[in-house]
Amino acid sequence: MPIVVDRRPEGVVLIDDDGSETLIAADALPAAVAEREAEHPRWVWTDTAQWYPALLAAGVRVERCHDLRLVDAIIAGIDGRVPRRGWAGAAPTDDGALFALDGTDAVPPRSAAREWARQQQRLAAHPEPARLALLAAAESAGALAAIEMHATGLPWSAAEHDALLTATLGPRPAAGARPAALAALAAEVERRLDIGAVPIDSPPALVAALRRAGLAVTSARSSELRRIDHPAIEPLLQYKSLSRLHTANGWNWLDEWVRDGRFRPTYVPGGVVTGRWASDGGGALQLPRQVRPAIVADPGWRLVVADAAQLEPRILAALSGDAAMARAGADVDLYAGIVASGAVATREQAKVGMLGAMYGGTTGASAQVLPRLARAFPRAIAHVEAAARAGERGERVRTLLGRTSPAPTRRLSDAAASETGRPDTTGPAARAWGRFTRNFVVQGTAAEWALAWLAGVRRQLWTAGSPLAAQPHLVFFVHDELIVHCPENEVARTEAVLRSAAAEAGRLLFGDAPVSFPVSVSIVQRYSDAKG
DNA sequence: TGGGCTTGCGCC
DNA sequence: AAAGGGCGCAAGCCCA
């Protein structure tokens, strides 16, 4: 049963489904929530990110919620309107404000109870109410997990991190100074180019310098430089790689983001149009392999690292009802299954071809093998082609559970219409939008599967009565991969949970569709030792 | 000096 | 090897 949590000038009110209200002081909320949690309610509140941290800090964990802000954003996407704002003002702040505290929004949020009523009506009126309700529940469960993972943090050894920085860059330099290894590499580049000073940190100036030295480059991209045969390229590429490590995940990053052996990023559920999460600060979803040796389980604990194998092609197989592709994915390696089906000759062709089909690749190897994939897996390929054509026509597309792509930018529709008097469906802009919608249906539905997986793992792992950090708990989530920090005597149970939750997510979304969602699991001390 | 833009690159 | 989709972030650069 739902319990609405709402802010009142005189405190916080809990509203039961029959409309009865219980008014409590804001500081009594954790105790009240803990007591009612025994009934396994769904807590309905404006914004998990605003309400839940204080509860967690007080040691109170909740099983289920409905996040009005996140669900409104989904509904707004369906309706083609701007999401409501000002939710933050409804948080349990001590001044009782109902307005956004930063003054950015003059529109007061509705009361949580009214917004809940509106959303229930809206969900029920949807053509696929069960799917949309599932999406709302999964999105909200993700919001809980995001706050919990922020609170517990990812185990991070500052000593290991510092050691690997020192090993590759040299000792930590004074603030603003260049590490010894970078200085040496920059000097080596200048020696080998032999044109005097090289502005190695400025891409445009670097391109000009390289051209002065007789190298035919048009950009400073590593991918382009790699194709050039010149002795200065090797130290230059090494410089770029180490410089990136230093600026993005060097000592400054370590100082700013790692405290008490934990990295605590802020996850942003629903932060990407497709429904994927984004992150805010610390680059949490782009942790480079170079620093993963610093992600180390506590003594007596393990990292259980789980990765959904070839998630997106499997999602496409299930979405499109492509039985042949489902068969190809019967085992853990779908790409090998595609080779075994005879569609293509090598695993690399299978992989590049499928990625091209889902991303809209039009050149090179992916385009070459696409016709063969289309013959072998006609429904899968037709599904993404249809999504691309819809986008080119300016139509919006939907994920399985109903998340809807935005309308094309005005520039796209107007620029074309002004020339021909009708919408452009063939120009470069239309094709680019088609690539977006093509990918949206697959990436977005994969994000829904991943949320269902995450929610299942969270629910199955949790043992009530002991603190979250004392039992196996989620510490990291990135699109199709989960890490559980786990006492070593619980790794077997945790692995089983990760696998069974994946199968359950498949059933939740796709029912009895014959598509499997295998998970590769590594049990390691260090993240860098996980296969993947 | 600070904001916004571009470039480049890390991840999935 | 790169290309196609989605991001966040740091640095350089331009302009007010």
pLDDT tens figures, A245-294: 999 999 999 999 999 999 999 999 999 999 999 999 899 999 999 999 99
Q: Are residues A326 and A403 in the same domain?
A: yes
Mean pLDDT of A135-152: 97
Protein residues with beta carbon less than 7 Å from any atom of strand C: A 199, 201-205, 223-224, 226-227, 247-248, 253, 268, 271-274, 276, 278-283, 285-286, 352, 355-356, 359-366, 432, 435-436, 438-440, 443
Question: Which nucleotide minimizes the distance between its C1' and the CA of A439?
Answer: C5
Q: Under 8 Å CB-to-CB from A81, ≥6 apart: which residues?
A: none
Structure tokens of A190?
């200048």
**Å between A273 CA and C7 C1'?**
10
A433 class by beta-carbon count within 10 Å (0-12 exposed, 13-18 middle, 19+ buried): buried
Q: What pLDDT was estimated at residue A101?
A: 38
Considering the domain boundaries, does residue A191 fall inside one?
yes
**Å between A465 CA and B1 C1'?**
54
- What is the reported pTM? 0.94
- Strand duo A64-67 + A481-487: pairing: unpaired
List pLDDT tens digits, range A406-439. Answer: 998 755 555 445 555 566 777 888 999 999 999 9
Q: What pLDDT was estimated at residue A375?
A: 96
- The DSSP-derived string for A340-394 is HTTS-SSHHHHHHHHHHHHHT--SHHHHHHHHHHHHHSHHHHHHHHHHHHHHHTT
Per-residue DSSP letter, A94:
T
- Residue A278 in 3-state DSSP? strand
Q: Rounded to whole angstroms, what are the CA distances from A256 to A49, A64, A249, A478, A481? A: 21, 32, 10, 21, 25
What is the pLDDT confidence band of residue A97, given thresholds at 50, 70 and 90?
Answer: very low
Of A52, A486, A417, A434, nearest to A269 (Cα)? A52
Q: Are residues A370 and A405 in the same domain?
A: yes
Q: What pLDDT was estimated at residue A94?
A: 36
CATH at A487: 3.30.70.370
A63 class by beta-carbon count within 10 Å (0-12 exposed, 13-18 middle, 19+ buried): middle
Structure tokens of A446?
């994969």
- The residues facing A520 across adjacent strands are A307
How many residues does this entry show for chain A? 532
Considering the domain boundaries, does residue A456 fall inside one?
yes
Q: What pLDDT was estimated at residue A74?
A: 96
Q: What pLDDT was estimated at residue A107?
A: 44
Q: How far apart are CA A434 and CA A440, in angstroms?
A: 10
Given a cut of 70, whether residue A213 has pLDDT beyond it is yes
Q: What pLDDT was estimated at residue A87?
A: 67
Q: Are residues A522 and A472 in the same domain?
A: yes
Of A235, A119, A148, nearest to A477 (Cα)? A148
What is the pLDDT confidence band of residue A93, given thresholds at 50, 70 and 90?
Answer: very low
Using the 3D structure, point to which of A104, A125, A146 is the last residue of a domain.
A125
The mean-pLDDT minimum among A89-98, A146-155, A280-289 falls in A89-98
Structure tokens of A297?
């389980």
Question: Which nucleotide minimizes the distance between its C1' and the CA of A291?
Answer: B10
Q: Are residues A286 and A337 in the same domain?
A: no
- Is A6 within 8 Å of A111 (Cβ atoms)? yes
- The residues facing A302 across adjacent strands are A486
Query: Half-sphere exposure of residue A245, counting CA atoms within 13 Å on the CB side?
Result: 24
Considering the domain boundaries, does residue A142 fall inside one?
no
Question: Which nucleotide minimizes the distance between its C1' and the CA of A283?
Answer: C8
Structure tokens of A280?
């805010």
Q: Rounded to whole angstroms, what are the CA distances from A28 to A11, A14, A517? A: 9, 12, 43
Q: Are residues A390 and A471 in the same domain?
A: no
Q: Are residues A11 and A100 in the same domain?
A: yes
Q: How far apart are CA A186 and CA A170, in angstroms?
A: 14
The label of the residue with tokens 């030792």 reads A529
Using the 3D structure, point to which of A378, A405, A440 is the last residue of a domain.
A440
Using the 3D structure, point to which of A253, A277, A300 is the last residue of a domain.
A253
- The residues facing A307 across adjacent strands are A481, A520
Q: Are residues A107 and A27 in the same domain?
A: yes
**Å between A383 CA and B3 C1'?**
43
What residue spans of A80-221 are helical by DSSP H? 112-125, 129-152, 158-169, 180-193, 203-212
Average pLDDT of chain A to the nearest whole number: 91
Considering the domain boundaries, does residue A405 fall inside one?
yes
- Strand duo A278-280 + A262-263: pairing: unpaired
pLDDT above 90 coverage of chain A, percent: 85
The label of the residue with tokens 């994946």 reads A502
CATH at A200: 1.20.1060
Residue nearest to nucleotide C9 (CA to C1'): A283
- Is A268 within 8 Å of A279 (Cβ atoms)? yes
* Strand B nucleotides, any atom under 7 Å to a protein CB: 7-12
Considering the domain boundaries, does residue A135 fall inside one?
no
Query: Range of A193's domain?
Result: 159-253
Q: Are residues A371 and A460 in the same domain?
A: no
Decide which of A321 and A94 is more confident: A321
Considering the domain boundaries, does residue A342 fall inside one?
yes
Q: Are residues A66 and A116 in the same domain?
A: yes
List pLDDT tens digits, range A348-360. Answer: 999 999 999 999 8
The dihedral built from the CA positions of residue A74, A407, A401 and A143, taken in this order, carries a sign that is negative
The C-alpha torsion from A311 through A315 and A316 to A321, rounded to 10°, is 140
Q: Are residues A331 and A407 in the same domain?
A: yes
Q: What pLDDT was estimated at residue A363?
A: 75
Q: How far apart are CA A155 and CA A485, in angstroms?
A: 8
Considering the domain boundaries, does residue A43 fall inside one?
yes
**Å between A88 CA and C16 C1'?**
33
Q: Are residues A293 and A382 in the same domain?
A: no
Structure tokens of A499?
């696998």
In this structure, what are the phi and psi dihedrals at residue A336, rounded to the nearest 5 degrees? -60, -35
State the total domains in chain A. Answer: 4
List pLDDT tens digits, range A186-195. Answer: 999 999 999 9
**Å between A234 CA and C15 C1'?**
36
- The residues facing A8 across adjacent strands are A11
Q: Are residues A461 and A396 in the same domain?
A: no
Considering the domain boundaries, does residue A181 fall inside one?
yes
**Å between A242 CA and B5 C1'?**
25
Q: How far apart are CA A494 and CA A523, in angstroms?
A: 10
